[in-house]
Amino acid sequence: MNKHQKAILYAVLAALLYAISSPISKILLTKISPVLMAALLYLGAGLGLSVVGVVQKTFFVHKSIEKHLSKKELPYIFGMIVLDILAPIFLMLGLNLTTAANASLLNNFEIVATTIIALFFFREKISFKLWIAIFLVTFSSALLSIEDISSFSFSIGSIYVILACICWGLENNYTRVLSNKNPLQIVILKGFGSGLGSLIIASVLGELSGNVQYIVFALILGFMAYGLSIFLYVHAQRELGASRTSAYYAFAPFIGTGISLVIFGEVPTVTFIIALSIMLLGAYMAYSDRRG
């Protein structure tokens, strides 16, 4: 398997791990507040990857060839952490106000946000197919966000999820700048920085209480769906770039949507089915774009 194929595999595995996040978080939110939930997910990522780091040093004693983060990357590190505080809070608030399937499908908007930001701020080239994908995903996201077409009112839950996607889109590009550095170090910084930031906000809001068993489950979910997922995502970005990696990551929302429909027994509306069909086509266009 060459470097490019490995990068694709890492991106798809990252998507599979992240796919479980929305449906499982929806269950945990019945006992944990949205802001505390966001904190626990990233703290789980930081704690889990710290253990992975200790295991690596203990059993794989060969000298690491990974580059360490330096002072010149501090603006990107700071931006990455702030955006990672905001994004999961927006997502958890959205999950509280919309269905898990709807939230999972709307996660595809992250492709649009990542790609547009990569174009205008980081000068990544975008192919014609990717432009079509952006249009289709944006259109289907708008369909999912409209609560009442007759009065043209928007679903607040959907708006929160889209705000989370925009935050993660910018954060993906910041992470792309850091992707040639040690991925383990990046994820641990993300985990503890964003987790502790969200924990402080939860404390100020008086939302630190929660069911102990659910808190443990949230930490484990954070390790799997955020820690390992981000670790693999950063590895993929090295070879594929921000916009291409996010295109492969488009598998995650559809897997999450399927899991949500099964777990919660949600009956898809006509609008949902139309949006799903359009978004599938958009995700396929992004996936089939072979520029890289």
Residue 178 domain-assigned (yes or no): yes
200 assigned to some structural domain:
yes
Q: What pLDDT does residue 71 have?
A: 82
pLDDT at 153: 58
Is 64 part of any domain?
A: no
* Residue 23, domain member (yes or no): yes
For residue 200, the model assigns a pLDDT of: 95
pTM to 2 decimal places: 0.80
Number of domain units in the chain = 1
DSSP-assigned states of every residue in 138-201 = HHHHHHHHEEETTTTEEPHHHHHHHHHHHHHHHHHHHHHHHTTB-HHHHHHHHHHHHHHHHHHH
Per-residue tens of pLDDT for the chain, all 292 residues: 788 888 888 888 888 898 888 899 999 999 999 999 999 999 999 999 999 888 877 776 555 566 777 888 889 899 999 999 999 999 999 998 888 888 888 888 887 888 888 888 877 777 888 888 888 888 888 888 876 555 455 788 989 999 999 999 999 888 888 877 887 888 899 899 999 999 999 999 998 888 899 999 999 999 999 899 888 887 887 788 766 777 677 677 788 888 888 888 878 888 889 988 998 888 788 767 654 4
**What pLDDT does residue 291 have?**
46
Structural domain including 220 reads 3-59+70-288
pLDDT at 221: 96
Please tell me the predicted confidence (pLDDT) of residue 4: 83
Residue 65 belongs to a domain:
no
Burial 239-261 (b: 16+ CB within 10 A, else e): bbbbbbbbbbbbbbbbbbbebbb
